[in-house]
Amino acid sequence: MNKSIMITGANSGIGKETAKQLAMLNGTEKVYLACRNEDKARQAKSDLEQKTGKSTFEIIMMDVADPESVRLAVKSLKNPIDALIMNAGGGGKNPMNLTKDGVTEIFAANVLGHAVLLEELIKNNKLKRIALFVGSEASRGIPKMKMKLHPLQSSSVEEFETIMNGSFFDDKKADGMIIYGQVKYIGEMWLAAMARKHPGIKMISMSPGSTQDTRTADTFSPVFRFFYNNLLMPFIFPLMGLSHSLETGTKRLVDGITNPLYKSGVFYGSEENVLVGPVVDQSTIFPDLKNEAYQDNACEAVRRHFNDGVME
């Protein structure tokens, strides 16, 4: 049973709905809302308390894109948690800008900060049971949406680093979703490697599927954003098996940390050609996901950008 859970990116969308659903489970005593904006975090906490009638929510200030902010947040955590849901991320306003850690903003927010968070929690004995990384079917391509990733040549540490610093995309046509997919791929591979290094803690990646009422379209042009949010997602995509409700997508994450049938080290997501419905091991669709050498290379590439204080 998970008595205490931390959720990153918990002030809106999937993160906030996950906090709500977890708070309503029997046995949940504490839900930590890890957020970077204090005003939005306080508003989310107030909304959640009102909707659930629970006083189990606590704010942890954390900018996942900033490893130092992550370390300070872990240091401030007084008691160990049972479960961690690594949900923060998205595309951001300037996804390809480089951070001081030498990676793109989209990579820092989706993967690097979470990698620092997980390892800091483990190092300080502050994570007991399970860690879940929010993955995406975009990492293995979505043929029905004409989305095909650029193939990797070697899946070496150095090639993974080119995705992390953005140079991989310099000579390629790559829209935001393709970049997002390849960033998420590294995150899923990193966590699979971590699962083998730390068998005492269950670690899985889980995609919520294509979920309505999130901020996926924030980086789209205003016209397409309106079209996407008000026509495609609520009406057209559901008919094609390409979107479902926020509540349904969130249930995947809740199930991910409560259902003992999920295996550590595996990335679960939708069946091929849909983004809704039952989840399956994504390596049955994209075999590279189970290549342990590639997993280790991804993990090493990520850890090269840890600047201090993290275990070897």
Q: Which CATH number covers residue 67?
A: 3.40.50.720
Q: β-strand 279-281 against 267-270: which pairing, if any? A: antiparallel
- The pLDDT of residue 309: 44
State how many domains the chain has. 1
- Whether residue 191 is contained in a domain is answered as yes
- The pLDDT of residue 310: 45
- The pLDDT of residue 226: 75
| Cα–Cα distance measured from residue 300 to residue 194, given in angstroms and rounded to the nearest whole number | 10
- The pLDDT of residue 312: 42
Structure tokens at 179: 């970049």
- Whether residue 311 is contained in a domain is answered as no
- Which structural domain range is residue 42 located in? 4-303
- Whether residue 259 is contained in a domain is answered as yes
- The pLDDT of residue 147: 79
| Cα–Cα distance measured from residue 167 to residue 192, given in angstroms and rounded to the nearest whole number | 25
How remote is the C-alpha of 256 from its chain's centroid?
A: 13
Helix (H, G, I), strand (E, B) or coil at 150: coil
pTM (2 d.p.): 0.93
- Whether residue 47 is contained in a domain is answered as yes
- Spans in the chain with pLDDT lower than 70: 92, 213-221, 223-225, 227-228, 233, 235-236, 238-239, 308-312
- Whether residue 284 is contained in a domain is answered as yes
Residue-wise pLDDT for 153-163, tens only, equals 999 999 999 99
- Whether residue 85 is contained in a domain is answered as yes
- Whether residue 310 is contained in a domain is answered as no
- Whether residue 159 is contained in a domain is answered as yes
- The pLDDT of residue 99: 94
Residue 215: HSE in the Cβ half-sphere, 13 Å Cα cutoff: 17
